[in-house]
Structure 1
Amino acid sequence: MRYPAIRLPRPSFRQSNKRFLHTLPHPPLPSPLTLQSSSPLIESYGDPSSSKSVRPDDFLFWPNFFSIEECRTLVQMALWKLDRVDSTLKRRRKGKSPSQSQDEGDELQKLFDREYGFQEGHYDSVIHNYRETLLSSLPPNPSSNLVSTISKLYSLLPDLPPSQLQSDQIPPEGTITHLLHLSPAGEILPHVDNLEASGKYICGVSLGGERIMRLRRKDRKDEGWDVRLGSGSVYLQRDSIRYEYEHSILPYSTEGSEWNGEKLNQGHRISIMIRDTPSKPAQL
């Protein structure tokens, strides 16, 4: 089944007492990269395109979708939600700074100013050293920057009716928004998505420390792609990339977490993962 091209709804305005997601018009969105694009942020190994089932729109990538200011807004929102459900949360000792660097990426690291209660392993042993929760609402009295930034993200979702962008419902109806905080020692092991428990797509936002996503063909481990996920980048994956290619987030300790011989700077990473709900319940 081929999906139609992603259609971005036009912003609209209505007079109402409700707080709408899409309150301000956004500038035209940039065209995404695909795994076949010539980009310094995408590296292939073997012959990953030998599988005829891989279509260009199975993986779309926007490297600099959010500005540093928008990234800061999203990190603050995610930490607000994650900290509320972290029963082990404790303040860092006075005078301890999470970062001494002054570049933009490390400016975000300064927001991670506590000792967090990371879980060592996920129930299916895929994710290690992490915190997670669902995003079911925004903070009380959210700023216009937050509302505008989160609506910009949801505008990427395929087949989302314009009425959903004009609604005050978070997340939009028919979607699930998941927040994942990966510690500097964390990783996500290679896995494929559960077909019966999944919808048509996953949209992922990377915030904070850079990581490398590895897409590796299930039946040919020497074929696939590495994608450098910088802070503020967004990807959308579906179909063959979800079910025929294992995807993982490499740990900083592996040799694979170098890019052209450059070691990535270690740091906390938050990902915002948006899924559409499956059309039928998972078989238990």
Structure 2
Amino acid sequence: MLVLRRLEAKILGRSLHLVEFAGQWTSSERRQFECDMRVIENFVTPAEEAGLLREIEPHISRLPYESSHWDEAIHGYRELERRKWSPQNRVVLDRVSREAFGGRAMPFVHILDLAEVGVIKPHVDSIRFCGHTIAGISLLSDCVMRLQRVAKGPDPPCQSADLLLPRHSLYIMRALARYEFTHEILAREESRFRNRSVERRRRVSVICRNDP
């Protein structure tokens, strides 16, 4: 039991300083959230970031930034999906698959390019398109992701958490955080973490999922 607790503390220690809680949380609820919403800093190196962007840019630069999304969740974005990657970038994506999915990620990888003035509004990803885990690499910019408890019942608890997603980091959202909380990327002018402004520029996220 002691060994398991030390292992859990080591895992959570990767991201505790990147989470800011607000509202009414019990200690057990915080621990569960921290297990299900992880941020791993420096998951990719600057060289790996450059390699991913070299492969992404020729395709995504042909697309215009869109002002609306099918579910109205995203504004100022462009996106695409890719299955085939260079051997160099496949190594990075396989590392994501092992870390977040036990090696069983969906073959198609979602690339979401959010303009500097773009915004992702609060939403829960559709269960039609992905399973219990979502993992994303943050490229080009830091940002703040806010999660808010989905209101259920007559007196739902007021719970939210802001997460700082540093450039080069990997977030892993699963289980409780995936289904019971909306998530959003704060607009540039709203991007603050622990009372400090976070300079959010254009952000490219490389997102992996598992099957529904």
- Same fold (TM > 0.5): yes
Identity in percent: 27
Residues in 1 aligned to 2:208 and 2:59: alpha-carbon distance in whole angstroms: 16
Q: Give the C-alpha shift of residue 51 in structure 1.
A: 7.7
Matched residue of 2:99: which SS? coil
In structure 2, the partner of 1:230 is: 166
Query: Could you say if the C-alpha distance between residues 250 and 159 of structure 1 is closer, same or farther in structure 2, counting changes exceeding 3 Å?
Result: same
Q: Give the C-alpha shift of residue 247 in structure 1.
A: 0.6
Determine if contact 1:34/1:61 at 8 Å carries over to the other structure. no
Amino acid at match of 1:64: N
Residues in 2 aligned to 1:268 and 1:49: alpha-carbon distance in whole angstroms: 36
In structure 2, the partner of 1:269 is: 203
Query: Could you say if the C-alpha distance between residues 32 and 178 of structure 1 is closer, same or farther in structure 2, counting changes exceeding 3 Å?
Result: farther
Residues in 2 aligned to 1:175 and 1:78: alpha-carbon distance in whole angstroms: 16
In structure 2, the partner of 1:57 is: 35
In structure 2, the partner of 1:123 is: 70
Determine if contact 1:176/1:277 at 8 Å carries over to the other structure. no
In structure 2, the partner of 1:100 is: none
Matched residue of 2:100: which SS? coil
Cα deviation 1:47-104 (Å, max 9, x = unaligned): 34478594543222202211222222222222133135x2xxxxxxxxxxxxxxxxxx
Determine if contact 1:34/1:60 at 8 Å carries over to the other structure. no
Determine if contact 1:43/1:226 at 8 Å carries over to the other structure. yes
In structure 2, the partner of 1:183 is: 115
Residues in 2 aligned to 1:239 and 1:151: alpha-carbon distance in whole angstroms: 21
Match of 1:136 among 83, 86, 106: 83
Amino acid at match of 2:210: D
Q: Which has the higher contact order (CA 8 A, sep 6+)?
A: 2
Q: Give the C-alpha shift of residue 224 in structure 1.
A: 1.6
Matched residue of 1:122: which SS? coil
Q: Please give the residue correspondences for 1:1-284 in structure 2 after superposition, counting only pairs within 5 Å.
A: 32-33=11-12, 38-39=16-17, 41-49=18-26, 54=32, 56-84=34-62, 86=63, 117-138=64-85, 142=86, 145-160=88-103, 174-219=106-151, 220=156, 222-254=158-190, 257-278=191-212
Query: Could you say if the C-alpha distance between residues 232 and 258 of structure 1 is closer, same or farther in structure 2, counting changes exceeding 3 Å?
Result: same
Query: CA RMSD for the aligned pairs?
Result: 2.7
Amino acid at match of 2:112: L
Query: Could you say if the C-alpha distance between residues 268 and 221 of structure 1 is closer, same or farther in structure 2, counting changes exceeding 3 Å?
Result: farther
More strand by share: 2
Determine if contact 1:81/1:135 at 8 Å carries over to the other structure. no
Matched residue of 1:73: which SS? helix
In structure 1, list runs of 5 or more residues that go unmatched. Answer: 6-30, 87-116, 162-171, 279-284
Determine if contact 1:201/1:276 at 8 Å carries over to the other structure. yes
Query: Could you say if the C-alpha distance between residues 221 and 47 of structure 1 is closer, same or farther in structure 2, counting changes exceeding 3 Å?
Result: closer
Q: Give the C-alpha shift of residue 136 in structure 1.
A: 1.9
Looking at CA atoms only, which structure, 1 or 2, has the larger radius of gyration?
A: 1
